[in-house]
Structure 1
Amino acid sequence: MKIIHIVRQFRPSVGGLEDYVENLAREQLAAGHRVLVITLDTDFQTDETLPARANYDGLEVQRVSWRFSRRYSLCRLDMATLNAVDIVHVHAIDFFVDYLAAMKRLGAFTAPLLVSTHGGFFHTAKNQRLKQLFFRTVTRATLSMADAVLSCSTNDQALFSSISKQAQLVNNGIRLRKFGALADVERGNDIVYLGRFSSNKRMPWLIQAYAALSNPRGKLKIIGRSKTGDTSTLVALIEQLGCADRVELVLDVGDDVIAHHLATARFTVSASEYEGFGLGVVELMSYGLVPLLCSAPPSFNDFVRDSQSGQLFDYQFQDFERAYERLIGQWNPSAANAAVLYAEQFSWVSVAQDIFSVYERVLASTSSRKGRAA
Structure 2
Amino acid sequence: MSASRNLIYDSRWISPTGIGRFASELGDRLPCLHHQAIGGSPTSPLDCLRLGWMLWNTDRAFFSPGFNVPLTSPMLAKRSFVFTIHDLIYVNHPAEASLAKRLYCQHVIRPAARRAYKVLTVSEFSKREIVDWARIDPSQIEVVYNGVGSAFTHAGPKHDLHRPYLLYVGNQRPHKNVGGLLHAFAQICGTRDVDLAITGQATAETVATMEKLAIAGRVHFLGKLSDDQLAAAYRGAQATVLASEYEGFGLPVIESMACGTPVVCSNVTSLPEVAGDAAVLVETHPDSIAAGIRRVLEDPTLQQTLIAAGLNRAADFSWEATAAKVLQVLQPLTVAATQSVPTLIQPLEASVK
Give TM class, smaller chain: 0.7 to 0.9
Contact 1:194-1:223 within 8 A present in 2 as well: yes
Match of 1:218 in 2: 194
Output aligned runs, 1:81-230, within 5 Å. Answer: 83-85=58-60, 87-93=61-67, 96-97=68-69, 100-103=70-73, 105-110=74-79, 112-120=80-88, 121-122=90-91, 124-126=93-95, 139-162=109-132, 163-165=135-137, 166-178=140-152, 182-183=156-157, 190-213=165-188, 215-224=191-200, 226=201
Contact 1:202-1:272 within 8 A present in 2 as well: yes
Match of 1:25 in 2: 27
Following TM superposition, by how much is the alpha carbon of 1:355 offset from its aligned partner in structure 2, in angstroms?
0.9
Q: Distance in 2 between matches of 1:255 and 1:333?
A: 25
Give the 3 Å change call, closer, same or farther, for CA 127–180 of structure 1 in structure 2.
closer
Percent identity, please: 22
**Which consecutive residues of structure 2, in runs of 5 or more, have no partner in the other structure?**
342-353
Residue 235 of structure 2 aligns to which amino acid in structure 1? A
Following TM superposition, by how much is the alpha carbon of 1:356 offset from its aligned partner in structure 2, in angstroms?
0.4
CA RMSD of the aligned region, Å? 3.5
Q: Distance in 2 between matches of 1:108 and 1:22?
A: 28
Contact 1:179-1:255 within 8 A present in 2 as well: no
Match of 1:51 in 2: none
TM-score calculated relative to the size of structure 2: 0.78
Following TM superposition, by how much is the alpha carbon of 1:315 offset from its aligned partner in structure 2, in angstroms?
3.0
Contact 1:16-1:280 within 8 A present in 2 as well: no
State the SS of the aligned residue for 1:175.
Answer: coil
Give the 3 Å change call, closer, same or farther, for CA 263–171 of structure 1 in structure 2.
closer
TM-score calculated relative to the size of structure 1: 0.74
Give the 3 Å change call, closer, same or farther, for CA 337–177 of structure 1 in structure 2.
farther
**Which consecutive residues of structure 1, in runs of 5 or more, have no partner in the other structure?**
38-61
CA deviations on 1:140-182 (whole Å, 9 max, x unpaired) are 4322211111121111111122322212222223314348952
Match of 1:47 in 2: none
Contact 1:177-1:287 within 8 A present in 2 as well: no
Following TM superposition, by how much is the alpha carbon of 1:322 offset from its aligned partner in structure 2, in angstroms?
1.8
For CA contacts below 8 A with separation 6 or more, give which structure has more relative contact order: 2
Following TM superposition, by how much is the alpha carbon of 1:205 offset from its aligned partner in structure 2, in angstroms?
2.3
Q: Distance in 2 between matches of 1:63 and 1:362?
A: 20
Give the 3 Å change call, closer, same or farther, for CA 275–123 of structure 1 in structure 2.
farther
Contact 2:144-2:326 within 8 A present in 1 as well: yes
Give the 3 Å change call, closer, same or farther, for CA 123–290 of structure 1 in structure 2.
farther
From 268, 289, 295, give the equivalent of 1:320. 289
Match of 1:10 in 2: 14
Contact 2:257-2:311 within 8 A present in 1 as well: yes
Give the 3 Å change call, closer, same or farther, for CA 108–192 of structure 1 in structure 2.
same
Contact 1:174-1:347 within 8 A present in 2 as well: yes
State the SS of the aligned residue for 1:269.
Answer: strand
Match of 1:280 in 2: 252
Residue 113 of structure 1 aligns to which amino acid in structure 2? F
Give the 3 Å change call, closer, same or farther, for CA 143–247 of structure 1 in structure 2.
same
